Structure 1
Amino acid sequence: MATFLLLIIYLAFISLGLPDSLLGAAWPVMQVDLEAPLETAGLLFMTIAAGTIISSLFSGKVLKRFGTGKVTFVSTLMTAGALLGFYFAPSVIWLFLCAIPLGLGAGAIDAGLNDYVATHYKAHHMSWLHSFWGVGATLGPFIMAYYISRQNSWSSGYLTIAVIQFVLAIILLLSLPLWNRGNKNSAIDSNEKSEVENVSYKDENVNDKPLKIRGVKLALASFLFYCGVEATIGLWGSSYLVNVKDLPAATAAQWVSFYFGGITIGRFITGFITFKVNNVVLIRSGQFIALIGAALLFLPLPLYFSLAGFILVGLGLAPIFPCMLHETPARFGKKHSQTIMGYQMAVAYTGSTFVPPLLGVMASNTTMGIFPICVVILVGVMFLSTEKLNRALKGKNISPTTM
């Protein structure tokens, strides 16, 4: 039963990823149809992310009252309804109204399932969970590109994703009895428990103020810049390729889907690598690869180097987020891990909320050519933050009994 429940959780993360990459892929066409300024996409993205932040902050109380299964079902239903609203949207104002439930639904799913898997399952499951998010995020631009190239219609793309979301919501509804039985039986096989439960901590982090613990602020900075660069590429990658590289909108959407494909494949592979390599090494290696990909975007090279850059950045980013999440108890102790996890998710959403719109405002006043420069800066600052964190925690008085 635990394995089947895990498959349901993976399925829910597909539904979480499907809408995340749609706006960026569709915006070059949406902007023309709606006669909207370029930076409107950033404001829409900010509205969605604000809803995600709010629902994440209140997710703890909601999950305790209603349970993870019911909250996931209702949240998926909310996102399906919001996407259907995008299909019917007659104006930009309507899009902003629909963006609110879209963000609220996504936040509850993300916070609830991340906490559940980080607490109860091993590191490879966290990587695979986020790989399934990548499946959804990769399918989204492909579906949108199909309708743009065949019908020049972004609204049909939103309708298709909405239908998929409604189907996933029905599956989640039918799975509710499984969630209920899983809660009664802890829903976890003894062989599937997280390494966190097999780690013995010494009393270094006895501070009752989590933000005062050594390294926490650097970890928060790492999450801020990680989500900033991931969301920035997802939102503005298509616009950069259309406006600077002169690609057709449908082709640009497909290229961005390769970026999300890199994240998806990378996280799937990472799940196997975690059996032999620890989280710290995976995070560092991913950042090196992302820096190489960012450099390919920045340098004045032939067009297809940009495609390689998108793919390499995606592959590099793949292990970073799930490994940083799973590393939280090992870095800061189990006593404060839930609180710090909440801080990390809030800061992550803050990066997703404010960094991409900031680039949009800058690009509208200059040129979309600043996109690769910003990507290099964001990846570089993320790398410096995590390396400084590693040095701060070097020799830390926490001793795992198992690896």
Structure 2
Amino acid sequence: MATWFLIIIYMAFISLGLPDSLLGSAWPVMYPDLHASLGSAGIIAMVIAAGTIVSSLFSGRLIAMIGTGKITLISCLMTAAALFGFSAAPSMLWLILLAIPLGLGAGAVDAALNHYVAANYQAHHMNWLHCFWGVGATMGPIIMSYSIATNDSWRSGYLTVAGIQLGLVIILLITLPLWSKVAAIHAREQAESPLSSAEQNDNLEQHKDSTTKKNRNGILSLHGIKPTLAAFLLYCGVEMTVGLWGASYLVGARGISAQTAAAWVSLYYGGITVGRFITGFITLRVGNTMLIRCGQLISIVGGIILLLPMADGLALAGLILIGLGLAPIYPGLLHETPTRFGKSNSAKLMGYQMAVAYTGTTFLPPLFGLLATRTSVGMFPWVVLIFLVLMLYSAERVNRILSYRKGRN
């Protein structure tokens, strides 16, 4: 039952990814239709991200009050309703208002499902969970591209995704009693399989060290936490910047048609999806630190290719490489949290990390929108590459700090 139930969780994460990529792929067609400016997509993205920050910060209390299953059901219902509203929105003002429930729903289900999988399933499922987010994010631009090509309308694309979300709501409603049952099964299994004495001693030492540090200076003073938070901020910032503005760059700077640009952005998300599926197997043999480093280097190579003034096919190759490189970074950073900072701190730090990640989603894409409005959308590859390099620096700084601390101990 637990295995089959995991499929339902994966489906819920598909629904989380579907709306994330719609706005960017549709925006080249949306903003002229709504008589909006090119950069105003950043406002919508900022409102959505702000909602995710708020709901993720309160997700812990909500989980304790009503449970993960009900939070997931309510969140998916909110996003479905918001997407139906997007399909009929007559102006930018309506899109901004509808972005509020869309963001609140997305943040709550993201935090709830990450917590549930981390607590009840093995580590490689975290990569596969985020792989299925990529499935949804890949499907979104494909649906929108088909809608623009066949109906010459972005509205039918939003309507289709809203219908998919509603179907998931029905499935979640039917399976609602399973959430607590599966959690109880895993709790019994964990109780019957105690940690080895070595693991217990290691966890005890981590708890003592982290508790002493936390009591003395506060949780944010833990070794390496600040550059870790910077890496989360930059990761989500660059992932959303590419997803939101990639199609606009391809149309405005490369002269590619809107439907082709939407399809190419779907391949960027496809790179993330395929990368995370493969990474789920690689994590059985290779550590997260190495996977994160390799992913960052691959994404930087993709950014450099995107920057080169060469054939349009290379731009597609650059986008795919950026997606493949980004694939292991976010799940790897999440999974390393208890290892790096102690299990006693991980629950609280998970919320901090996700809130900072959403902050990157909130502010970095709109900053590029402002830059593109004042200069040119052709600045897109330069900004993406700068974000990627800064993320690599932040992640490597964490590794150096923790290695130095381990050497001293």
TM-score (norm 2): 0.94
Alpha-carbon shift at residue 126 of structure 1 (Å): 0.4
- Greater share of helix residues, 1 or 2? 2
Counterpart of 1:380 in structure 2 is 389
Aligned to 2:374: 365
Q: Which residue of 1 aligns with 2:213?
A: 207
Residue matched to 2:138: 138
Q: Deviations over 1:284-324 (max 9, x none)?
A: 00001001000001122211110000000000000000010
Residue aligned with 1:370, SS: helix
Q: Does 1:222 align with 2:222?
A: no
Residue pair 2:47, 2:100 contacting (<8 A) in 1 also = yes
CA drift at 1:192: 12
CA contact (8 A) 1:26 1:144 kept: yes
For residue 267 of structure 2, the aligned residue among 250, 258, 268 is: 258
Q: In structure 1, what is the equivalent of residue 26 of structure 2?
A: 26
Unaligned runs of 5+ in 2: none
Q: Shift of the alpha carbon at 1:2?
A: 1.5
The letter for the 1-side match of 2:323 is: G
Partner residue of 1:347 out of 356, 359, 362: 356
Give me the whole-angstrom Cα distance separating, in 1, the residues matched to 2:195 and 2:75. 29
| Equivalence for 2:244 | 235
Contact 1:28 1:242 in 2 (8 A): yes
CA distance in 1 between counterparts of 2:379 and 2:49 reads: 23
Give the drift of 1:88.
Answer: 1.1
| Deviation sequence 1:344-392 (CA, Å, 0-9, x none) | 0010000000000000001000000110000100000000011111000
Q: Helix, strand or coil: the match of 1:176?
A: coil
SS in structure 1 opposite 2:148?
Answer: helix
State the match for 2:338 in structure 1. 329
Tell me the equivalent position of 2:167: 167
- Answer yes or no: is 1:36 the counterpart of 2:41: no
* 1:240-284 Cα deviation digits (max 9, x unpaired): 000000000000000000000000000000000000001000000
User: What is the alpha-carbon distance in structure 1 between the residues aligned to residue 128 and residue 189 of structure 2?
Assistant: 18
Residue 397 (structure 1) shift: 4.7
Distance 1:194 1:114, change over 3 A: farther
Give the direction of change, closer, same or farther, for the CA distance of 1:237–1:194 in structure 2 (3 Å limit): farther
CA contact (8 A) 1:328 1:340 kept: yes
Q: Deviation per CA, 1:142-174, whole angstroms, max 9, x where unpaired?
A: 000001011110000000000000000100111
Identical columns (%)? 58
Counterpart residue number, 2:115: 115
CA contact (8 A) 1:147 1:157 kept: yes
Moved over 6 A (4+): 191-197
Q: How large is the Cα RMSD of the aligned pairs? A: 2.0
* Map of 1:129 onto structure 2: 129
User: What is the CA deviation profile of residues 185-228 of structure 1, one whole-angstrom value per residue up to 9, with x for unaligned ones?
Assistant: 34675599999995723243232221011000010000010111
In 1, the alpha carbon distance for the partners of 2:188 and 2:170 equals 24
Secondary structure at the aligned position of 2:357 is classed as: helix
Pair 1:73 & 2:82 matched: no
Q: TM-score, normalised by structure 1?
A: 0.95
